């Protein structure tokens, strides 16, 4: 979204053409499970795969692996391996931690405005 000056009234007008970064960000966050994975890591801290899978039970292991790889590729999480005991953990990077305020705002908005239907409860 770009602000442009109106020649006739000297009031800014808005060009609603989507910025590619804005579009990519919403596409990335809107991809099923990405937001929830980020939210779990924000609230629970570093997680092993099985802990993430337990916290997000409706996400299949295959899809969870795909999403974790995508989040890692985008620099949102880091996959840490510990060679002495074969432990692998997923943790938010500084970039991922910056979602904290965004996720809090989404929670606040949904608490205020979203009314789940019976179908959503299943």
pLDDT of residue 73: 96
Q: Locate tokens 């292991």: which residue? A: 61
The model's pTM is 0.78
**Which residues lie closer than 8 Å to 2 by C-beta, 6 or more apart?**
14, 15, 17, 19
pLDDT of residue 25: 87
Low-confidence ranges of the chain (pLDDT < 70): 1-10, 117-122
pLDDT of residue 119: 57
């Amino acid at each position: 979204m770009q602000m442009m000056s109106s020649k006739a009234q000297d009031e800014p007008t808005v060009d609603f053409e989507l910025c590619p970064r804005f579009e990519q960000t919403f596409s990335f966050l809107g991809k099923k499970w990405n937001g929830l994975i980020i939210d779990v890591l924000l609230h629970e801290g570093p997680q092993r795969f099985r802990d993430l899978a337990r916290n997000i039970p409706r996400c299949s292991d295959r899809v969870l692996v795909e999403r974790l790889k995508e989040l890692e590729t985008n620099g949102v999480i880091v996959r840490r391996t510990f060679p002495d005991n074969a432990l692998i953990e997923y943790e938010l990077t500084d970039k991922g931690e910056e979602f904290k305020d965004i996720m809090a705002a989404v929670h606040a908005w949904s608490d205020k405005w979203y009314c789940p239907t019976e179908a959503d409860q299943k």
